[in-house]
Structure 1
């Protein structure tokens, strides 16, 4: 039981340390991730648009 509690405490500690490490990365990475997500959503929206019919 004590070993299980130690393992859980270790995992919580590692999760906290990894979150701190992520927050120390340069902000350009977050801007790049946001731009990729925005571009993906824009392309998905463009593909859903109806086809334009030609008027003769």
Structure 2
């Protein structure tokens, strides 16, 4: 009975290690495009906000 528990525990640990590696790999592959596009998105958001601010100032006059 003890050997069976040890084998089961060992298999579970091995399976956990493999899934962790693949999860990390997939996460990295999904984050690469996000990190590359983030600076452009920030620039666009700031430009839109600045242009809206200027537009609102001219609406008052």
Question: Under a length normalisation based on structure 1, what TM-score does the superposition of the two structures give?
Answer: 0.46
Larger radius of gyration between Structure 1 and Structure 2: 2
Question: Under a length normalisation based on structure 2, what TM-score does the superposition of the two structures give?
Answer: 0.43
More helix by share: 2
